[in-house]
Chain A
Amino acid sequence: MSEKTAITLHINGRDYAIAVEPRRTLADAIREDCGQTGTHLGCEHGACGACTVLVDGEPVRACLMFAVQADGKSIRTVEGLADGDTLHPLQQAFMEHHGLQCGFCTPGFLMLAVGVLEREPDISDDDLLDVLSSNLCRCTGYQNIVKAVRAAAQQMRGNRPAR
């Protein structure tokens, strides 16, 4: 085992000053050191996407990034998605369209979709399907996840201030 390094993670607008080994993954740091257990681990190999969070706005597999690499970066997780009691349109759409069953993959899908829709609000249905096929869900068969994300995309476009 090696020395710990002091880092600061900005998670959902709050600073967490923690000390981690260089080998500690961002996912473990978020869950264990910062207590934000909404981010889940399904494989720790970068294959399932359950651990997806946003790092400086980009979807990242938190099991494939070291915590030290995220030092000083701004991280968003599922816990920060709602605005107080007001759910994010994606959270709302997942509930309305039954985009979750056991809910284990849901935080990863939500963060993946948020990242993509914020960057590319007019993404085509087909490209969106490509993006969503980077995460795994074993319960839903995806149909309702895709439906939910499309519905939320539409709503998010509607909410966009006119240019």
Chain B
Amino acid sequence: MSTQSKGMSWVGRSIRRLEDPALVTGRGYFTGDLAAAHWVRFVRSPVAAGRIVKIGAPESAMVITAANLASVKPIAPLLHKFNYKPVAQPILADGVVRFVGEPVAAVVAASEQEAEDIADAVVLTIDETAAIVDGRAALAADAPQVHATVPGNVIVEGAHKTDGFDAAWARAHRIVTVEARSHRQNATPMEPRGGHAAYDAASGRITLTCATQMPHLMRTAIADLIGMAESDLRVIAPDVGGGFGQKMSLAAEYVLLVWLARQYKSSFAWREDRRENLIAGFHARDQYLTLAGAFDADAKLIALKADIIANVGAYSCFPTTAGIEPLMAMAELPGPYDFRHYECRARGVVTNTCTIAPYRGVSRPVNAFGLERLMDKAAAAFGLDVVEIRRRNLVDRFPYTTAYGLELDEASYRQTLDVVAKAIDLPAFRARQSEARAQGRHLGIGFATFCERTGYGTATFVERGMAITPGWETVVVSVDQSGLVEARIGASPHGQGLRTTLAQIVADELGISPDMIKVVHGDTDRAPYGWGTFASRSLVISGGATLIAARKVRTKLLKLASHILEAAPHDIVLEDGTAKVIGTDRSVPIATLAHEAHTQSHLYDGIEPGLTDEGFYDPPGTFSNACHVAIVEVDIETGQVKIEKFLVAEDAGRIINPMIADGQVHGGVAQGIGNALLEEIIYDDTGTILTASLADYLPPTARDVPEIDMHHLTTPSPNSVTEAKGLGEGGTIGAPAAVINAINDALVAFGVTIDEIPATPQRIRAALRNLSSPSPLWGAEKGGV
């Protein structure tokens, strides 16, 4: 790392990540790297619904079942609003199974292989009952009931209707509708889940090392379910190989590991394999979104009607509950658009499928997909171009209260649209498109404008009615007597580069270089209580708390320096690891100040000993925004879609490290492209899962993701002390909408509409095949499709 030149700020620079040296040399430390005395293999239900008759285990094998866990409470998160019906998920299935992959028994053996062999020999006798797989079908009066406590399978229901909605609707010049369907996906972190629980004989404590995004909440929840003192449990999130939301929810498997370690006073480990992850490691996105937009004669949206059906799977994920998808969809559907009237019904529906949990973007990829399709359809109906329809409808005055009641802070919705529209040169593309069409090649362009709610604190979770209201963060910054700084944070990064970006923030405040700053996270014994890393929150909230703590430490350093240097604090600057009196050669190293603060405190009247301070931050939340554009080519013979170009104009406020910010967008867009074109968890009608390997469930490869042309805007937020807005999820939110709009644009001549993601070759071919007669605009193509 280069040394800091005077007066230059670390924030805003693409410095290399402090995380990387260990990870590129194979010295990273992941949960699965730990050895254990005992290994656990779960026996999982092969059927989607049924009553357990018998669990036949080989003689002398150690097999844990629900019968052993009478003292352990089930996972049963609560929501105090929206007609939520609590459901309980036992740690191991208790009499009934509700999805393929549900853990029924746990085999314990001395090695992983032995545990697998024994698990293969466990015979489950299950009386199969009727299963319901599809979210819409689960609403039918005669549909099988997944839980006795959830009549009609509706576990949560939200509704919203603005005053005067009906009158506004009646004024419509034109109604435009969209039936959007997002199939089911899996976040697919490259490291599957896994845990390792070890008993310490000296202290009687248990240490659970696991691939989690939320170590403190895991500690709280598991201690509560098992009935042990929370302080007897230490949770460590070591290097975690991606999470994307999947690793924030409590895994029943972790509860069992802690229970075993406590019961048998030893160490027990479980490494999820890819099949388990794909069938039982939480799913996402499965939604039907029906939209109707009332537009006035100027193509201005005046009212929006929405019906949201979210298939939430068999149980309610902890801590966000089954309400997370449908309710967030309802609240955030209006997005960046200016309209006053909104009617929405949002239902979460239980089915005999794997439980749905948050996944990067949570509901908003589907929201944006639906709403951006609506805009493109409206553009066609009004004979406008796709940029103009958005320009007419985007919010351009701030703060702005949406038709649901969310307050949008200063953003650049129109500007990001203008930036990409200019970069892409729409008229030139249209010319190229018709030339290509004449040669039988089908190009299309798709836009997606959206906002991403980020960095929201406690109030938002209270508003959602969650029994657990995460939100705030605490950071403790301390300077030791060698002048090294430690920032202990409650966030729990796992690839986001927070050790680097937070160090950049501290470096500027304390006038030292980032490599002198160690960000400590992922260990409940070392880090202050916090809520982990999810919801594009860490840089805003933990970064804000870091800045606040660092400023307190800075103030103290200046006071100490003022004593020693005999100058007023405002005449002193902190730079290059020293406190200097401006315009003189008088200075004192920060290490000396730290030493004085600890060992000579009697000399400094009125200054508390030590050099540690705490920052606390609980912001109201902000919105970053972006506009994505995709240019695709659809091969009508094969249904294959190739993304030729992808542009992003992103506004996430102040950027702390541009290299890291771009990386977040790249990764998000890649996942969005996967969601749009490739990735689908498929169940058959009986609830058997057909996509249980990475040969069937297809995350994009380097061939599927184009180079992304990035443009940056920076509208700082008043709701963030660092002026940074989060951006972890935006890439995933916008990309599916842009890609699907582009596919529809490419196929416009055929009169087909694809409103389903992923738009697989099969779906595109089916749509083309169903055409009654070939379009006159067929181009050079001959013959039937």
Is B639's CB within 8 Å of the partner chain A? Answer: no
**9 A-B Cβ contacts within 8 A?**
A45-B694, A77-B26, A79-B25, A81-B26, A87-B25, A96-B16, A98-B17, A104-B30, A133-B703
Interface locus among A65-73, A105-113, A116-124, A154-162: A105-113
The reply to whether B24 and A110 form a contact with Cβ atoms under 8 Å apart is yes
Complex: A139 Cα to B660 Cα, angstroms? 12
Q: List residues 219-265 of chain B with CB under 8 A from any CB of chain A.
A: 239-242, 244
Residues of A near B114 (CB, < 8 A) are 1
Residues of B near A110 (CB, < 8 A) are 24
> What 19 new A-B contacts, CB under 8 Å, besides A42-B241, A139-B242, A141-B667?
A23-B113, A24-B113, A40-B191, A78-B25, A87-B24, A98-B662, A100-B24, A101-B497, A103-B19, A103-B28, A129-B703, A133-B701, A133-B702, A135-B701, A141-B669, A141-B708, A142-B670, A143-B666, A144-B663
The reply to whether B23 and A100 form a contact with Cβ atoms under 8 Å apart is yes
Is A58's CB within 8 Å of the partner chain B? Answer: no
Is A146's CB within 8 Å of the partner chain B? Answer: yes
Residues of B near A19 (CB, < 8 A) are none
Q: Distance in Å from the Cβ of A14 to the closest Cβ of chain B?
A: 14
Is B707's CB within 8 Å of the partner chain A? Answer: yes
Complex: A149 Cα to B699 Cα, angstroms? 21
Complex: A102 Cα to B274 Cα, angstroms? 18
Task: Encode B22-62 as 1/0 by CB contact (under 8 A) with A.
Answer: 11111111101101000000000000000000000000000
Complex: A120 Cα to B32 Cα, angstroms? 34
Asked whether A82 and B496 contact (CB < 8 A) given A41-B32, A101-B242, the answer is no
* Nearest B-chain residue to A129, judged by Cβ: B702
Is B671's CB within 8 Å of the partner chain A? Answer: yes
Task: Encode B99-138 as 1/0 by CB contact (under 8 A) with A.
Answer: 0000000000000011001000000000000000000000
Residues of B near A38 (CB, < 8 A) are 25-28
Q: Distance in Å from the Cβ of B277 to the closest Cβ of chain A?
A: 9
Complex: A47 Cα to B697 Cα, angstroms? 10
Chain A: interface residue total (CB-CB under 8 A):
56
Contact check: which of B17, B35, B662, B699 meets A138 at CB < 8 Å?
Answer: B699
The reply to whether A104 and B708 form a contact with Cβ atoms under 8 Å apart is no
| Size category, B interface | 35 or more
Task: Encode A32-71 as 1/0 by CB contact (under 8 A) with B.
Answer: 1000111111111101101000000000000000000000
Complex: A91 Cα to B190 Cα, angstroms? 20
Residues of A near B191 (CB, < 8 A) are 40, 42, 102, 104
What is the predominant secondary structure among interface residues of chain B facing chain A?
A: loop
**Residues of A in contact with B (beta carbons under 8 Å apart):** 1, 21, 23-24, 31-32, 36-45, 47-48, 50, 77-79, 81-82, 87, 91, 94-96, 98, 100-107, 110, 129-130, 132-146
* Nearest A-chain residue to B674, judged by Cβ: A138
Residues of A near B667 (CB, < 8 A) are 101, 138-141
The reply to whether B189 and A138 form a contact with Cβ atoms under 8 Å apart is yes
Task: Encode B523-553 as 1/0 by CB contact (under 8 A) with A.
Answer: 0000000000000000000000000000000
Contact check: which of B27, B694, B705 meets A141 at CB < 8 Å?
Answer: B705
**Residues of B in contact with A (beta carbons under 8 Å apart):** 16-17, 19-30, 32-33, 35, 113-114, 117, 188-192, 239-242, 244, 273-274, 494-497, 659-660, 662-663, 665-671, 693-695, 699, 701-705, 707-708, 731
The reply to whether B701 and A45 form a contact with Cβ atoms under 8 Å apart is no
Complex: A50 Cα to B189 Cα, angstroms? 12
Asked whether A130 and B666 contact (CB < 8 A) given A47-B693, A95-B21, A138-B244, the answer is no
Total A-B Cβ pairs within 8 A: 173
Residues of B near A143 (CB, < 8 A) are 666, 705, 707-708
Complex: A88 Cα to B405 Cα, angstroms? 54
Asked whether A43 and B25 contact (CB < 8 A) given A103-B239, A144-B666, the answer is no
Residues of B near A24 (CB, < 8 A) are 113
Complex: A78 Cα to B278 Cα, angstroms? 28
Asked whether A43 and B274 contact (CB < 8 A) given A104-B190, A141-B670, the answer is yes
The reply to whether A142 and B20 form a contact with Cβ atoms under 8 Å apart is no
Residues of A near B239 (CB, < 8 A) are 102-104
Residues of A near B188 (CB, < 8 A) are 138
Residues of A near B693 (CB, < 8 A) are 43, 45, 47
Residues of B near A44 (CB, < 8 A) are 273-274
Residues of A near B190 (CB, < 8 A) are 40, 42, 48, 50, 102, 104-105, 136-139
**Residue with the highest number of chain A CB atoms closer than 10 Å, among B23, B192, B496:** B23
Residues of A near B244 (CB, < 8 A) are 138
Contact check: which of B192, B273, B699 meets A136 at CB < 8 Å?
Answer: B699
**Residue with the highest number of chain B CB atoms closer than 10 Å, among A42, A104, A130, A144:** A104
Complex: A134 Cα to B703 Cα, angstroms? 9
* Nearest A-chain residue to B708, judged by Cβ: A143
Complex: A135 Cα to B190 Cα, angstroms? 11
Complex: A145 Cα to B707 Cα, angstroms? 11
Residues of A near B117 (CB, < 8 A) are 1
Complex: A156 Cα to B117 Cα, angstroms? 46
Q: Distance in Å from the Cβ of B454 to the closest Cβ of chain A?
A: 18
Q: Distance in Å from the Cβ of A95 to the closest Cβ of chain B?
A: 4
Asked whether A103 and B23 contact (CB < 8 A) given A40-B30, A42-B192, the answer is yes
Asked whether A102 and B705 contact (CB < 8 A) given A39-B26, A78-B26, the answer is no
